[in-house]
Structure 1
Amino acid sequence: MRRRLLSSTLVVAVIAVLLLGVPLGVVVSRLIVDEAGQELQSDARRLLGEVEYARIQDEPISPQQIARNYPDRYIQVYEGGNPPKVTMVGTEPIAHHKMTADAHSESGVWVQVSRDRGEVEQDVRARLLLIVALAAAALAVAVGLAIVQSRRLTLPLQDLAMIAERLGSGDARPSKHRYGIQELDRVAEVLDRSATRISDLLSREREFATDASHQLRTPLTGLTMRLEEIVEAADQPDIVREEGEAAIVQAERLTAVIDELLAAARRQRHAQARPIDIDTVLVQQVTEWEPAFRRAGRKLVLDGDRGLRAMATPGGLGQVVSSLLENSLEHGDGPVVVSTSKGEKSIVIEVGDQGPGIPDDLAAKVFERNVSGRGGTGLGLTLARALAAADGGRLELVRPRPAVFAIFLLPVDGNGRRVVSGPA
């Protein structure tokens, strides 16, 4: 591109110089020649006047005086008489190199003034050389400006190409480079916005992968527990059948979790919220987690109002409750109580235990991503709150010690219509 800019600028400059310089050279040469002819004509008329004045004063013409007054001229003066008087001053130029002008009076005086054309041509050549020098200087300036302009254009373009290549390689950092050229700055701004969007997309993809691995871990843990129960009860067919069916339920729940994660990745979960029976989800979760609590020597109790309905998705609500139960199993102590109640504005599901609770310095940021007080991943509560919000509800820490978490859901009436009575 730089070579093309230089060549195009040079061609334009050459054309401009030729269009201006050639006519200027022709005009200057003609002006010099015409000025030399007019000067000779003026010398001839002035000399004729001097000769006439000398004749009136009856004084002889002095060749020496004429030579001093008209240097570098060849002069011929013809005065009437019989025979005519002829006066010649200077050296006669070569015929084909001679410029001549004459003048005559009524009294019979004729004056001719000549000069060497070579002097005029030398002056013309000097002026033409000056014009050529100026044209060459103009071309040099044009080339210099072309080099500066090409660098100003090509270097930003090379920089933008490097930024685009970097974006293609996965480095989505905005460059913040600006070049003082409106069009190039516009391209740089578009690339920066694209880099920001790509960075957001990559961040969401990484978060989705992390969330998926975390959320899938809980169903897999439950499935593993069921399989362990099957192994331990291998000599009891009834228990094996029961635990096998429970394992199938866990596998189906794992499939539902994958569907929920994919829907969340597409930002479509909120549109899937519908009226559901709260008891169905809670009983399923208590059934799945009760063996784990039993092995830990702890109790899992379901309490509160029954027959409640709310706006949610079974998979989403199940994941939220499962995350809270897993959190209580790992970090809590004593019996865990899952209680339900109905308020004026929401359906409330509380999960609490009798453990040491959450320190004061973590209570305010317990739902922040990667925040964990006991070596956890710091993702469970963050994802649980996001899933609750996707269903139109919310997850809150209502008491830090002992820890009690509450899920607030939008209530529905007996016909499955949402009860609008203010914010949850």
Structure 2
Amino acid sequence: MRRRLINSTLAVVLVVIAVFGVSLVIVETRTISNSAQESVDSEALRLISVVESRLLGAERINPGVLAQQVAHNRYARVEIPGRTPIEAGTRPTGSVIRSTAKGEQGEKVTVEESSSAVTSEVGRTLMIIGAVALLAIVSAVLLAVRQANKLTSPLTDLAETAERLGSGDPRPRHKRYGVPELDRVADVLDSSAERIARMLTAERRLAADASHQLRTPLTALSMRIEEISVTDDPDTVKEEANIALTQVERLTDVVERLLTNARDPRTGSAVVFDLDEVVKQQIEEWRPAYRGEGRAIVRSGKQGLRAVGTPGAVAQVLAALIENSLMHGGGTVALRTRVTGNQAVIEVTDEGPGVPPDLGARIFERTISGRNSTGIGLAVARDLAEADGGRLELLQQQPAVFALFLSRVALNRAEPERPVR
């Protein structure tokens, strides 16, 4: 493309120079020739007037007098009837410019000049025109090269940007070139890069969230299936199968929730539900894991609370907090339910060392973890809580106290809150 731009620009300049240059040469040649002829004609008329005035004054006309009136590069011949012709200067040979003038008494003056002077003048003019044309060609080539670089370099950059997008590098370059059309293409590529980056981030986030949130239900489901495989008691098989079905339902709910959040993280499916059932289900699910670690998980606080939210999402938030205490905490883990204003609060605390001071303000950020874990559990939990209008906060760092706030539905007066015994 660069060569094509240079060639096209140079072709246009050459055509313009050829058209106007040839026209200028013709005009200048004719102008110089006409000017030389007019000069000789003027010389002849001037000499005839001199001759006539001398004849009228009875003055002598000789070669010396005539030589004083004629330019050194011209030849003049005066013919007076009855007299010998008088000549001044050297008669030129070859091509000449001639002019003749006649007087009233029959006298005739002939002035001649070699056309070599005209040829020399035309040659100098052609040299000047040629130099100007050459300068124009050189300037056109430099301008064409600069313009070609100005256009082709951005196109090369844009091609590299498009190639980077195709290779999976969606970083926008935010580079502009001062050419509106190319800047428009750069804007579109940067916008596409940002959209691709968002889509890739969403896909990676969905994959990370899915792997993290599906891990616990799958582990619990595999444990129930193992219990079924090693027992011969029909009642135990039936009980474990029912629990496994519950885990499958929860797993289905997790998958649906992940897909919903992938489409629109702000979309919630909040309903009024019994908070006790969710807390009880989580304690029963995690008790074997804590028992295996020689630890306990208990609950306290008020019962009979009804909250607004998605039961599956609330269960996932509590599972993330309980798992976080299992991995990073110590001692007994307690789930405490209480009421503050028009909100139901579930606090999860343990007896471990708590959250390090340098991580307190960033504990809910993705990839932030106190140990070698994924660092996405608490971030996902906060997103799930906020999707249904709740919030998840770290109330205390040492020992760690996490609190899930949900909108509360007031109980009927006939149904008083029941404290845990």
TM-score by structure 1 length?
0.86
Deviation at 1:116, TM superposition (A): 3.2
**For 1:224-279, what per-residue CA distance to the aligned partner results, in whole angstroms no more than 9, with x for missing partners?**
332343345x1332112211221222122222212211211112553322322323
Are the equivalent residues in 2 in contact too, given 1:225–1:292 (CA < 8 A)?
A: no
* Residue identity opposite 1:107 in structure 2: Q
Provide the C-alpha distance between the structure 2 equivalents of 1:168 and 1:226, rounded to a whole number of angstroms: 46
Tell me what 2:291 maps to: 294
Tell me what 1:348 maps to: 345
* Residue identity opposite 1:261 in structure 2: L
* Residue identity opposite 1:71 in structure 2: H
Unaligned runs of 5+ in 1: 416-424
**For 1:191-224, what per-residue CA distance to the aligned partner results, in whole angstroms no more than 9, with x for missing partners?**
3343344333323322222222111111122123
* SS of residue matched to 2:244: helix
Alignment of 1:155-170 (within 5 A): 155-170=153-168
Alignment of 1:22-421 (within 5 A): 22-56=22-56, 58-67=58-67, 69-80=70-81, 83-90=82-89, 97-232=95-230, 234-268=231-265, 270-412=267-409
Deviation at 1:75, TM superposition (A): 2.3
* SS of residue matched to 1:49: helix
For residues 72 and 328 of structure 1, do their structure 2 counterparts lie closer, same or farther at Cα, with a shift above 3 Å needed?
closer
* SS of residue matched to 2:86: strand
For residues 136 and 251 of structure 1, do their structure 2 counterparts lie closer, same or farther at Cα, with a shift above 3 Å needed?
same
Tell me what 1:20 maps to: 20
Unaligned runs of 5+ in 2: 413-421
Provide the C-alpha distance between the structure 1 equivalents of 2:214 and 2:246, rounded to a whole number of angstroms: 14
* Residue identity opposite 1:16 in structure 2: V
* SS of residue matched to 2:268: helix
Provide the C-alpha distance between the structure 2 equivalents of 1:375 and 1:161, rounded to a whole number of angstroms: 41
Are the equivalent residues in 1 in contact too, given 2:343–2:408 (CA < 8 A)?
A: yes
Provide the C-alpha distance between the structure 2 equivalents of 1:369 and 1:290, rounded to a whole number of angstroms: 27
Provide the C-alpha distance between the structure 2 equivalents of 1:361 and 1:84, rounded to a whole number of angstroms: 129
Deviation at 1:26, TM superposition (A): 2.2
Greater CA deviation, 321-330 or 176-185? 176-185
What fraction of aligned residue pairs are identical, expressed as a percent?
48
* SS of residue matched to 1:272: coil
For residues 365 and 136 of structure 1, do their structure 2 counterparts lie closer, same or farther at Cα, with a shift above 3 Å needed?
closer
Provide the C-alpha distance between the structure 2 equivalents of 1:138 and 1:330, rounded to a whole number of angstroms: 80
Are the equivalent residues in 2 in contact too, given 1:260–1:269 (CA < 8 A)?
A: no
CA RMSD of aligned residues (A): 2.7
* Residue identity opposite 1:355 in structure 2: G
Deviation at 1:319, TM superposition (A): 0.4
Provide the C-alpha distance between the structure 1 equivalents of 2:135 and 2:399, rounded to a whole number of angstroms: 89
TM-score by structure 2 length?
0.87
Provide the C-alpha distance between the structure 2 equivalents of 1:395 and 1:291, rounded to a whole number of angstroms: 26
Q: Number of residue pairs matched? A: 411
Are the equivalent residues in 2 in contact too, given 1:270–1:392 (CA < 8 A)?
A: no
Tell me what 1:418 maps to: none
* SS of residue matched to 1:364: helix
Greater CA deviation, 177-186 or 315-324? 177-186
